[in-house]
């Protein structure tokens, strides 16, 4: 069984006025931890993590895996929404990850695209996605409150108006997608439409989905990190050999949510997949 990992960290978002501080440290920390556990690790940091670079990275790491191999992909950066392109979202919004060049290319990496990349894997490949970002808010949500910034933390959410051109924002995006009709946000993930079988797919995310849920950019001992990444790695290192993803998620409850970081980590997968031993 081979173990392959892709660790992505983006602090720098040119043209958005929404740079982060702890995402590169997150990627390096995940890479170090995974390498110590026998993974062959590739990293994409800041300018390397363009949308094209991320798509290529996903394709390579997933394409290199064969039956029984484990692929772990970690992402630390902003999450966002984009107008729905193909009409499959009840609220007319696709969830998305923000690449480094999101403002320059006027496009995010949406959940439909990620799902398609995952579906291209060979039979029997187990994928774990660890996302320290958030998909919170609405199309009109404002920039994070100044109080959060002053407190030394910042939600990892980028409103569309911060990266999408005014023309596309007004017209429904670069591909003329459906404009939101004002209904409550219905959250989804890259695994929502995946076959719910024993393939072993697991999503671990820094916060619950939907409005008013955020993953925080934080600082610990004068070093920037994502709150989820910091506590997830701390919990991982305390677990017994053979502990499961469900065990890992339960261990996180000792640290999150907290008064300072009111985020609830999320796990998604079948009972079989979340009951698998971690990274097997």
Is residue 186 within a helix (H) or strand (E), and if so which, with residue range? none
Active site residue 134: yes
Selecting among 134, 135, 207, 213, the annotated active-site residue is 134
Local structure of 28: helix, strand or coil:
helix
Residue with structure tokens 């971690």? 278
| DSSP state letter for 95 | E
Rounded to 10 degrees, what is the CA torsion of 156, 162, 168, 170? 110
On whether the CB atoms of residues 17 and 84 are closer than 8 A, the answer is no
What is the secondary structure of 180-238 as a DSSP string?
P-SPPP----TTTTS--SSS--EEEESS-SSTT--PEEEEETTEEEEHHHHHHHHHHTT
Active site residue 23: no
Selecting among 7, 23, 78, 135, the annotated active-site residue is 78
Catalytic residues: 78, 134
């Amino acid at each position: 069984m081979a173990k392959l990992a892709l660790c992505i960290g983006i602090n720098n978002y040119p043209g958005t006025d929404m740079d982060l501080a702890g995402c590169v440290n997150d990627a390096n920390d995940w890479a170090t931890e995974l390498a110590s556990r026998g993974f062959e690790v590739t990293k994409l940091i800041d300018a390397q993590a363009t949308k094209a670079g991320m798509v290529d990275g996903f394709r390579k790491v997933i394409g290199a895996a064969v039956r029984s191999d484990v692929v772990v992909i970690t992402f630390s950066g902003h999450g966002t929404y984009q107008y729905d392109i193909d009409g499959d979202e009840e609220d007319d919004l696709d969830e998305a990850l923000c690449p480094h060049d999101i403002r320059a290319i006027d496009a995010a990496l949406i959940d439909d695209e990620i799902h398609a990349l995952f579906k291209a894997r060979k039979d029997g490949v187990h994928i774990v996605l660890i996302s320290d970002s958030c998909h919170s808010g609405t199309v009109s949500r404002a920039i994070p409150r100044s109080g959060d910034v002053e407190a030394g933390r910042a939600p990892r959410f980028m409103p569309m108006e911060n990266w999408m051109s005014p023309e596309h924002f007004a017209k429904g995006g670069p591909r003329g997608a459906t404009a939101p009709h004002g209904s409550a946000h219905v959250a989804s993930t890259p695994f929502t439409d995946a076959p719910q079988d024993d393939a072993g797919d697991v999503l671990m995310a820094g916060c619950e989905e939907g409005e008013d849920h955020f993953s925080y950019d934080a600082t610990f001992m004068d070093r920037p990190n994502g709150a989820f990444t910091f506590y997830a790695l701390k919990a991982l290192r305390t677990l017994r050999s053979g502990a499961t993803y469900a065990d890992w998620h339960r261990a996180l409850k000792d640290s999150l949510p907290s008064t300072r970081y009111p985020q609830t980590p999320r796990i998604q997968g079948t009972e079989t997949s979340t009951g698998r031993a971690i990274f097997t």
